[in-house]
Amino acid sequence: MTPMILSWWDIALAALLVIALAGLSFWQRLALERQILIAGSRTIIQLVLVGYVLTLLFKEAAWPWIALMATVMLAVAGYEVMARQKRRLVGGWGYGIGTASMFVSSFTLTLFALLVLIGNEPWYQPQYAIPLLGMMLGNTMNSIAICLDRLLNGAWQQRAVIEARLMLGQHWQQAISELRRDAMRAGMIPAINGMAAVGVVSLPGMMTGQILAGAEPMQAVKYQIIIMFLIAAGAGFGALVALHLGARRLFDERQRLRLERLRNAE
């Protein structure tokens, strides 16, 4: 099968759709046009740059460079977790919790997949390690961002309820348990919907890419099943860690709600 070659004109035509969306946002006064255009510009710049980096990385295949790129990916994902939260933890706590949660979940599961499931030699081959880690970080990042945004904004809105429960003698974990459940449910919706609809509503990017590259459909299906399970597990474990750390930060050692540790990001 001859691979399809896309030109920059094809990309320009696709970009017109994003520009049209930004124009509609401006017309409807949705105040999203700036974010849409910035995100679209970042998509082009970042993907072009990473294309050059991956080309060099695939040629070298040296583990220190792979580790450096993985660290950069984690650092950027940690920033994106808190970038669009309505309320954030002050100081470096928001960044630290998001980054630590993704490290615990995404990095651990990526290593598990590379060492146990895929088993390629060497295990850190960039053709496998970087795309897999990218998929894990991207999906885990979304789940953690949604969970923390729901938790922190909910704690601010329901501060009177939480403080009343604390006054009645409830432990801080009990006082905020409903918010944590709601946040966890919201954060897991994308991963659960993805597993429920895959193959019926959508064909995921990795599976589609392998089929377009000429791989056997059943082999592509096996890879995609593994990826979907890894993504769901990574999103769930990462969200659990982030919610525990984020909720704990809202209370002091005497189990008092400390909302001064939050700031409005708007």
Sequence-ordered list of residues with C-beta below 8 angstroms from that of 218, at least 6 positions apart, any chain: none
Residue 204, pLDDT score: 67
What's the CA gap between 182 and 151, in Å, rounded?
8
What's the CA gap between 217 and 214, in Å, rounded?
9
Structure tokens at 99: 């980054």
Residue pair 130/57 in contact by the 8 Å Cβ criterion: yes
- The CA radius of gyration of the chain, in Å to the nearest whole number, is 21
If phi > 0 it is left, if psi is from -120 to 50 it is alpha, else beta; for residue 251 that is beta
Residue 217, pLDDT score: 75
Residue 246, pLDDT score: 92
What's the CA gap between 242 and 221, in Å, rounded?
31
Sequence-ordered list of residues with C-beta below 8 angstroms from that of 89, at least 6 positions apart, any chain: 82, 97, 152, 246, 249, 261, 262
Instruction: Match 């080309």 to its residue by tokens.
Output: 55
Q: Please name which of 16, 75, 105, 260 lies closest in space to residue 113, comparing C-alpha atoms.
A: 105
Residue 148, pLDDT score: 93
Mean pLDDT by 10-residue block, N- to C-terminus, for the chain (266 residues)? 72 93 93 92 90 83 85 90 83 89 91 86 84 89 92 91 91 92 92 83 67 72 86 92 92 87 72
What's the CA gap between 200 and 252, in Å, rounded?
48
What's the CA gap between 57 and 127, in Å, rounded?
9
Residue 2, pLDDT score: 55
Q: How many CB atoms lie within 10 A of CB 53?
A: 15
Amino acid at 129: A
pTM of the predicted protein model: 0.80
What's the CA gap between 66 and 85, in Å, rounded?
30
Q: How many CB atoms lie within 10 A of CB 104?
A: 18
Angle in degrees, CA 161, 166, 171, rounded to 5: 120
Distance of CA 263 to the CA centre of its chain: 22
